[in-house]
Amino acid sequence: MQSLALIDNWPVTAAATAVVRADGTVTGAHGPVERRFPLASVTKPLAAYAVLVAYEEGAVDLDEPAGPEGSTVRHLLAHTSGLAFDEHRVTAPPGTRRLYSNAGFEALGAHVAEATDIPFAEYLRQAVLEPLGMAGTALEGDGSPAKDGVSCVADLVRFVAELQAPRLLDARTVAAAMSVQYPGTKGVLPGYGHQSPNDWGLGFEIRGHKEPHWTGRSSSPGTFGHFGQSGTFLWVDPEAGLGCAVLTDRAFGPWAVQSWPEFTDAVLREYGPAAGQA
């Protein structure tokens, strides 16, 4: 657990982390894993998973209209609807640019709520959180599906395990969600500037060959996940057969840009497939 203890050196008051293998085994944990932290944009993968459940239940279709004119559920999940970052204002035609959008996920939440006649926070609870046993996780009240979730590492490891060995969704749906949507699309990765291409799946960012990036230099191109402005992240590296969640109580900033990739590379060295081959 030497790599996980690196969080003790971060300029934060509290941090927790855990590593999950592809078979769902939590192989290492460090810090207050039961403590609840604001997720910020790590809310989005949870919300996206609920949308995908709604898709498999037949409540919505990925290619039905949603959001601004010409946009679909797929566009909203892939941040290509054309909606601005934090405003319900169209800034580009759908499918032409990767415009990271909180407003787009709020439109998704409203769309699913209308289709199911269930408030989105409650739908998320019923579709994802309760089945996975994530009792410490919630989108409280009328919170935004883009950024207002709260959770603990002890819960997030259950979600990271689900992403690697799906039980709630067909594995083919999950594979599609982690595949690049609208390949070649350029855009800005918040905190890291313009990326060409700025690969994204259905609610999950895909590492590809982006540089700089919040994952490690040794992370495989297929690594997917999300980070949040509250100093939070989760990733799954399918090549390494590992997933990791980290929650902290300090907002994203230069400290994270430096510390997070070093941490991820150390985790992959310690727990990855090559760790026992020395």
For 120-131, write each residue's pLDDT tens digit: 999 999 999 999
> What is the assigned CATH class of domain 4-271?
alpha beta
Q: Which residues contact 3 (CB under 8 A, 6 or more apart)?
A: 28, 263, 266, 267, 269, 270, 271
- The model's confidence at residue 271, banded by pLDDT at 50, 70 and 90, is very high
Torsion angle of C-alpha atoms 198, 21, 160, 201, degrees rounded to 10: 20
- Reading the block at residue 58, the tokens are 């037949």
Q: What is the pLDDT of residue 253?
A: 97
The answer to whether the Cα torsion of 261, 204, 44, 32 is positive or negative is negative
| CA gap 47, 151 in Å, rounded | 13
Please state the three-class secondary structure of the chain as a single string.
CCCHHHHHHCCCCCEEEEEEECCCCEEEEECCCCCCEEEECCHHHHHHHHHHHHHHCCCCCCCCECCCCCCEHHHHHCCCCCECCCCCCECCCCCCCECCCHHHHHHHHHHHHHHHCCCHHHHHHHHHHCCCCCCCCEECCCCCCCCEEEECHHHHHHHHHHHHCCCCCCHHHHHHHCCCCCCCCCEEECCCEEECCCCECCCCEECCCCCCCCCCCCCCCCCEEEEECCCEEEEEECCCCEEEEEEECCCCCHHHHHHHHHHHHHHHHHHCCCCCCC
- With bands split at pLDDT 50, 70 and 90, how would you rate the model's confidence at 278? very low
Q: Which residue is listed with tokens 């690049």?
A: 180
Q: Residue 139 CA to chain centroid, in angstroms?
A: 15
pTM of the model: 0.97
At 276 the pLDDT is 56
Give the neighbor-by-neighbor strand order of the sheet with 37-40: 37-40, 149-151, 138-139
Instruction: Write the pLDDT tens digit of every residue in 125-158.
Output: 999 999 999 999 999 888 999 999 999 999 999 9
Q: What is the pLDDT of residue 18?
A: 98
pLDDT at 54: 98
Structural domain boundaries of the chain? 4-271
Token digits of residue 238: 């399918």
* pLDDT tens, position by position, 10-63: 999 999 999 999 999 999 999 999 999 999 999 999 999 999 999 999 999 999
State the average pLDDT for the chain.
96
Structure tokens at 144: 């935004």
- For the segment 205-228, what is each residue's pLDDT rounded down to a tens digit? 999 999 999 999 999 999 999 999
What pLDDT, on a 0 to 100 scale, did the predictor assign at position 275? 73
pLDDT of residue 202: 98
- Give the per-residue pLDDT at 221: 98
- In the chain, the percentage of residues whose pLDDT exceeds 70 is 99
Q: What is the pLDDT of residues 76-117, one digit of tens each?
A: 999 999 999 999 999 999 999 999 999 999 999 999 999 999
